Structure 1
Amino acid sequence: MRVTGNVRGKPVHILIYTGSTHNFLDLETTKRLGCKLEDTEPFPVAVANGNKMYSSFACKSFGWKMQGISFTTDMMILPLGGCDMVLGVQWLVTLGDINWNFHQLKIEFDVGGVIQRRDEHHTTTNHGLFLCLDGDSIPSQQPAAILDLLVEFSYLFEEPKTLPPRRDQDHDITLKPSSPLSM
């Protein structure tokens, strides 16, 4: 399920995915947000098409907001391509019971457990905040096989940061002598 959150006021596109054992933050997103990265032992990650990628960095205690509620968790760093972050089972287990409606693209869970408040007259017990996240209304129109390829080869789709290197023969388009641009 895709939702939109924010980090320090900047939007982030989040995939909540039960098929992922861990949480992941996109490498380019970490650069854009100025996240502090820590070196880690290379960790193999099996992607949807069966190939392996390796995460060698982590962002500890990464914080973000969804619907104004703050969350914090450790994130492994990978070039994701299709979203800014993936929240997997590592995060989902911290939520306790979850009510997930895939037809309505809605997930509901209790945030904060039981809270006791005390005022001058009496003590009251309230349940934690009940949060309902609505999924982004426009799911990807790409077939799963295409999405897998886009994730696997995301480095090919990164915006170039430099000009291509000089070649012995640069590209050349020869125009017909009578064309208006050849004059």
Structure 2
Amino acid sequence: MKGVFLMELEEGEEDPLSNDISNLEISLHALTGLGHVISMMLLVMIVGVPLKALVDTSSTHTFIHTEVAACLGLSISSRDGLSMLVMNGDRVCSPGVCLAREVLIYEEPFSIDCVALDLGGFDLVLSVQWLCSLGPIVWDFDALSMAFWYQGRAHIWTGLGSKVLVAHAIADPRTILEKLLLSYVDIFKEPHRLPPSRRHDHCIHLIPGSPTVAVWPYRYPQLLKDEIERQCDDM
């Protein structure tokens, strides 16, 4: 469930974010801070200050908490008459837009336009507009991780609340294979003995006293060989 916000501008005023301002949307979860128990949140930095950002696929543009923008001393481009219409009929006003703010996410800088808004529970809401700039993304919400290829490097990020908070940026694809082998060294190490006994050991059961099967390594199956020989005998 999401709330749709329609931005209204004065006649003749240009919008810096999009030519179609009627498509500006934000989810109720991002606006109120309530809803989903499992959320992908990242630790971001703006002007050297760590902030909590929600990655929201239901919001079209990036939003920043008005109080956070004021505390950071960010310049907000005022937009007279700028208001947002919620689907339930409420109207929420926005003081303006923070243009081209540098947002540092795990040492990776991004230049993002942020709409100032009173958010509940989040400092920043990273939207679909930002996600589209990353290209294809592989998500694992159980591990709260996301993996993607950006600026010629493979990135693996885990969000706040994950058991292990990590961020990797790997430039050489061969390094990815090396890291994978090191992560599962117990699986890929060279065996020097028979595998240990397991709960379910598989074996080939032989019939006692049965003769050993010895056939030539023909390129076709044994049944096909028998059929060919039968047809040759008939001729």
> Is the shorter-chain TM-score for this pair beyond 0.5, marking a shared fold?
yes
Alignment correspondent of 1:105: 144
If asked which structure has higher relative contact order (CA below 8 Å, sep 6+), I would say 1
- The one of 38, 48, 68 equivalent to 1:9 is 48
Matching of residue 44 in structure 1 with residue 84 in structure 2: yes
> Separation in 2 of the partners of 1:3 and 1:110?
17
1:50/1:6 Cα in 2 relative to 1: closer, same or farther (>3 Å)? farther
The number of equivalent residue pairs is 122
> Separation in 2 of the partners of 1:51 and 1:95?
33
Q: Is the 8 A contact 1:98 1:109 kept in 2?
A: yes
> Separation in 1 of the partners of 2:118 and 2:160?
22
> Separation in 2 of the partners of 1:135 and 1:100?
11
1:89/1:51 Cα in 2 relative to 1: closer, same or farther (>3 Å)? farther
Q: Is the 8 A contact 1:45 1:55 kept in 2?
A: no
1:18/1:46 Cα in 2 relative to 1: closer, same or farther (>3 Å)? farther
Deviation at 1:56, TM superposition (A): 3.6
- The one of 127, 130, 133 equivalent to 1:94 is 133
Q: Which has the higher strand share?
A: 1
Q: Secondary structure at the match of 1:30?
A: helix
Q: Please tell me whether Structure 1 or Structure 2 has the larger radius of gyration of its CA atoms.
A: 2
- The one of 52, 58, 69 equivalent to 2:108 is 69
Query: Deviations 1:82-125 (Å, cap 9, x if unpaired)?
Result: 1110011121111111111111101112222xxxxxxxxxxxxx
- The one of 46, 57, 71 equivalent to 1:32 is 71
1:99/1:28 Cα in 2 relative to 1: closer, same or farther (>3 Å)? same
Matching of residue 85 in structure 1 with residue 124 in structure 2: yes
Q: Is the 8 A contact 2:76 2:95 kept in 1?
A: no
* RMSD (Å) for aligned C-alpha atoms: 2.0
Matching of residue 135 in structure 1 with residue 165 in structure 2: no
Q: Is the 8 A contact 1:5 1:64 kept in 2?
A: yes
- TM-score, with length taken from structure 2: 0.48
Which ranges of structure 2 fall in alignment gaps of 5 or more residues? Answer: 1-39, 163-235
Deviation at 1:51, TM superposition (A): 4.4
- TM-score, with length taken from structure 1: 0.61
Specify the code of the residue in structure 2 equivalent to 1:130.
A
Which ranges of structure 1 fall in alignment gaps of 5 or more residues? Answer: 113-127, 139-183
Q: Is the 8 A contact 1:25 1:84 kept in 2?
A: yes
1:133/1:44 Cα in 2 relative to 1: closer, same or farther (>3 Å)? same
Q: Report the identity percentage.
A: 31
Query: Deviations 1:8-59 (Å, cap 9, x if unpaired)?
Result: 2211110000011111000011011110110235142548x77442324000
1:25/1:45 Cα in 2 relative to 1: closer, same or farther (>3 Å)? farther
Specify the code of the residue in structure 1 equivalent to 2:130.
W
Q: Secondary structure at the match of 1:95?
A: coil
